[in-house]
Amino acid sequence: ETDLILTFNISMHRSWWMENGPGCTVTSVTPAPDWAPEDHRYITVSGCFLEYQYIEVAHSSLQIVLAVS
């Protein structure tokens, strides 16, 4: 249950779909916690119709099907 599983816990990278998925509402959290890097936004995401992991899998699957065909 961690957002860093796709990066093997070596970076703070987030999926684009996490913030831009269908129905997602992004809210900036201010002030950001002391541990948050200065060049990153600290946000909460709510209201998504699908969790971003499912969209990532569908997106990757579509790319594989298009590459094979």
Asked if residue 29 is part of any domain, the answer here is: yes
Output the pTM of the full model. Answer: 0.62
Asked if residue 40 is part of any domain, the answer here is: yes
Asked if residue 6 is part of any domain, the answer here is: no
Asked if residue 5 is part of any domain, the answer here is: no
Number of domains the chain is built from: 1
Chain CA centroid to CA 30, Å: 20
Q: What is the pLDDT of residue 30?
A: 75
Q: What is the pLDDT of residue 65?
A: 97
Q: What is the pLDDT of residue 32?
A: 67
Asked if residue 1 is part of any domain, the answer here is: no
Mean pLDDT score of the chain, rounded to an integer?
79
Full domain range(s) for residue 27? 16-68
Q: What is the pLDDT of residue 64?
A: 97
Alpha-carbon distance of 69 to 56, in angstroms, equals 20
Positions in the chain short of pLDDT 70? 1-13, 32-33, 35-41
Could you count the other beta carbons within 10 Å of the beta carbon of residue 54?
A: 13
